[in-house]
Amino acid sequence: MTANPIFRVVEGPASGRCEQCGIRKKAVCAYCSTPELVLLDAMKSYKDFAPGEEIAAAGEETTHVGTVVEGVVSLSKTMIDGRRQMVGLLFPSDFIGRPFRAIAPFDAVAVTHVRVCRFKRKSFESLCEESPNLEKRLLEMTLDELDASREWMLLLGRKSAREKLASFLAILARRAAGLADKPLANGVTVELALTREQMSEYLGLTIETVSRQFSQLKREGVIALKSAREVAILDFARLLDASGDESDGDALY
Amino acid sequence: MTANPIFRVVEGPASGRCEQCGIRKKAVCAYCSTPELVLLDAMKSYKDFAPGEEIAAAGEETTHVGTVVEGVVSLSKTMIDGRRQMVGLLFPSDFIGRPFRAIAPFDAVAVTHVRVCRFKRKSFESLCEESPNLEKRLLEMTLDELDASREWMLLLGRKSAREKLASFLAILARRAAGLADKPLANGVTVELALTREQMSEYLGLTIETVSRQFSQLKREGVIALKSAREVAILDFARLLDASGDESDGDALY
DNA sequence: CGTTGATCTTGACTTGGGTCAATGCGGAGG
DNA sequence: CCTCCGCATTGACCCAAGTCAAGATCAACG
């Protein structure tokens, strides 16, 4: 389900494996070559964060990088006067942290309960030097994130409130269907990990506008709200239409 | 002046050098190791583009990647109804193209006259496999671009028109001062490569709003317009103040 | 040196979404 | 079961920025 993490075990016996990120002593990794894995396995550690807990703060030194194993993490930037913009959401298998830079450029906050599989940044960096495949994998993930972040710039700069919310819900619905490995049919139910306030920070809106757009889509029969945090997509075609995006496509996400 | 391109020659005689991107047969490169350079030098080619000319189109296959040698390139995304958002501006020494993906995710258009030093994407990709240092350099550049693009998300999602324009001018002024290697004093003159329309696409505004904000900053004595495309920064402190950014800092740019 | 066309500026008006202020609602804890 | 308390919704109002419509400016060109 959590497809394509930066590390993945592809062969070898199951014994001694880390059940969280799949790294195992003496295993062959799909991306990095064997010997480093032993080191890596020894170096890694887990850390859990409660909802709302800060994982890293913009402007402060970061000592670790890693992979989100469980839960949802928000990346955001806050202005002096308190205005805040979320610049990314991380899900299980996503890489978290900023290699090759001591100071974190953004705040990372746990949205739900979060478990991170961590390595010391320095160790990870030297491991990168030694293991080109690991580095290549990280490069590919970073390029994908860059594309996604630019896609989000279109949403922030040009889309209406309605289009913003519809786009967001469409992405979550695709994600939910993808994880469940189901075709994207009407009636999919999406669990919203975010509060209205967090959504407003992600979409560049206010909490009231987000709420109003939910009500509007509900009134039109595009979605149904089982509860405030549980949305059923009743009419995916009309949702996509409202999103302003080019038709169906499994986009970059 | 065009600091930190993906390739740079650091030693060896000047003969046989490519004066545009600094790659030379048998030279030692700061980022990638020697042997590949011979190949690289043989593979590279130059291409020029006129202002407004399309370098790559979103959704179409790309055959090349490369480095901007001269001029300014815009990356943008257009919605079906014509709304357009610029998602990046590329200057000399910036990497252009999308390795490891056949389809271009964004439009690349020449803003000024542009010269690009190009390599076949496939060749570049295999070169990456072989030359970890090259790959590392590309990774670092991509991480920096990701940070910058997230920074821009804050501008698009949360800043007022005034703050947007002030931020933009501050970035250009820093750039101009940096290239001229001068301290950032009041009175720096900034050449605007972009039309008002292009600025509005970059800032997520309309052309009229951009124009009005220019007039406003002029009225307040923060800037002076020598011509429509030539701005003098009269009061850098107040410009930064208007930008909503945290103080002076040489930010990520 | 006047015409043309693109670019830029300015004004008048409209509007989407922000602000402020109640009100509703549902789960945790007494 | 009632009472908080944090979240969510809804309404009334307002304003920043968008839209529409003239004009101004300026470089290119016949």
- Residue-wise pLDDT for B95-142, tens only, equals 999 999 999 999 999 999 999 988 899 988 887 887 777 888 899 999
User: How many CB pairs lie under 8 A apart between chains A and B?
Assistant: 118
In chain B, which residues have their Cβ closer than 8 Å to the Cβ of A104? none
In chain B, which residues have their Cβ closer than 8 Å to the Cβ of A125? none
Task: For residue B161, give the nearest of B207, B226, B219, B218 by alpha carbon.
Answer: B207
Cα distance between residue B143 and residue A153, in whole Å:
17
Mean pLDDT of A40-48: 78
Worst-scoring range by mean pLDDT, A163-172, B55-64, B170-179? Answer: B170-179
SS3 A38: helix
Mean pLDDT of A18-47: 51
Cite the DSSP H helix spans in chain B.
Answer: 34-43, 121-130, 132-158, 161-179, 196-203, 207-219, 236-243
Residue A41, pLDDT score: 63
ipTM of this predicted structure: 0.90
Task: For residue B94, give the nearest of B39, B137, B48, B133 by alpha carbon.
Answer: B137
Q: How many Å does it take to go from CA B11 to C1' C9?
A: 53
Please give the residue of chain A at the shortest CA–CA distance from B152: A153
Residue B128, pLDDT score: 82
Residue A7, pLDDT score: 56
Does the nearest atom of strand C lie within 7 Å of B215's Cβ?
yes
Mean pLDDT of B202-206: 98
Q: How many Å does it take to go from CA B161 to C1' D16?
A: 9
Looking at chain B, the domain(s) classified CATH 2.60.120.10 span 9-154
User: Would the pLDDT of B54 be above 50?
Assistant: yes
- For A51, phi then psi, to 5°, come to -50, 135
Residue A84 contacts B where some CB pair is shorter than 8 Å? yes
Please give the residue of chain B at the shortest CA–CA distance from A138: B139
How do beta strands B45-49 and B114-120 pair? antiparallel
Q: For A135, which of B79, B135, B158 is closest by C-beta distance? A: B135
Name the most confidently modeled range: A69-73, A104-108, B13-17: A104-108
Residue B136, pLDDT score: 87
User: Would the pLDDT of A1 be above 50?
Assistant: no
Does the nearest atom of strand C lie within 7 Å of B211's Cβ?
yes
A201, containing H or E segment: helix A196-203
Task: Using pLDDT thresholds of 50, 70 and 90, give the confidence band for residue A42.
Answer: low
**Stronger pLDDT, A180 or B164, i.e. the higher one:** B164
Cα distance between residue A248 and residue A58, in whole Å:
36
Q: For A153, which of B129, B132, B156 is closest by C-beta distance? A: B156
Residue A65 contacts B where some CB pair is shorter than 8 Å? no
Mutate to test the interface with A, among B62, B100, B150, B201 (most CBs of A within 10 A): B150
Q: For A142, which of B129, B143, B204 is closest by C-beta distance? A: B143
Beta-carbon contacts of A203 under 8 Å, excluding residues fewer than 6 positions away, are: A155, A156, A161, A164, A165, A168, A210, B157
User: Would the pLDDT of B200 be above 50?
Assistant: yes
Looking at chain A, the domain(s) classified CATH 2.60.120.10 span 46-154
Worst-scoring range by mean pLDDT, A146-150, A218-222, B172-176, B177-181? Answer: B177-181
Specify the CATH number of the domain B159-243.
1.10.10.10
Residue A61, pLDDT score: 97
Asked if the Cβ–Cβ distance from B105 to A142 is below 8 Å, we say no
**Stronger pLDDT, B207 or A39, i.e. the higher one:** B207
Residue with tokens 């670092």: B140
Does the nearest atom of strand C lie within 7 Å of B207's Cβ?
yes
Worst-scoring range by mean pLDDT, A196-200, B124-128, B142-146? Answer: B124-128
Cα distance between residue A109 and residue A72, in whole Å:
9
Cα distance between residue B95 and residue B68, in whole Å:
6
Q: For B154, which of A77, A140, A154 is closest by C-beta distance? A: A77
Q: What share of chain B has pLDDT > 70, as a percent?
A: 81
- For A149, phi then psi, to 5°, come to -70, -35
Under a CB-based contact definition with an 8 Å cutoff, are residues A139 and A94 in contact? no
In chain A, which residues have their Cβ closer than 8 Å to the Cβ of B77? 150-151, 153-154
Beta-carbon contacts of A101 under 8 Å, excluding residues fewer than 6 positions away, are: A62, B143
Task: Using pLDDT thresholds of 50, 70 and 90, give the confidence band for residue B28.
Answer: very low
Scanning A205-234 for CB atoms below 8 A from B yields none
Dihedral class, residue B8 (left if φ above 0, else alpha if ψ from -120 to 50, else beta):
beta
- For A114, phi then psi, to 5°, come to -130, 140
Q: How many Å does it take to go from CA B120 to C1' D28?
A: 39
Specify the CATH number of the domain B9-154.
2.60.120.10
Q: How many CB atoms lie within 10 A of CB B15?
A: 8
Q: Quick one: tokens of A31? A: 């991306």
Cα distance between residue B167 and residue A17, in whole Å:
49
Q: What share of chain B has pLDDT > 90, as a percent?
A: 63
Under a CB-based contact definition with an 8 Å cutoff, are residues B138 and B215 in contact? no
Mean pLDDT of A210-217: 98
Q: Quick one: tokens of A163? A: 């289009």
Dihedral class, residue B167 (left if φ above 0, else alpha if ψ from -120 to 50, else beta):
alpha
- The 10s digit of each residue's pLDDT in B206-253 is 999 999 999 999 999 999 999 999 999 999 999 999 999 986 544 444
**Stronger pLDDT, B133 or B81, i.e. the higher one:** B81
Looking at chain B, the domain(s) classified CATH 1.10.10.10 span 159-243
CATH class (in words) of the domain with range A46-154: mainly beta
Q: What share of chain A has pLDDT > 70, as a percent?
A: 81
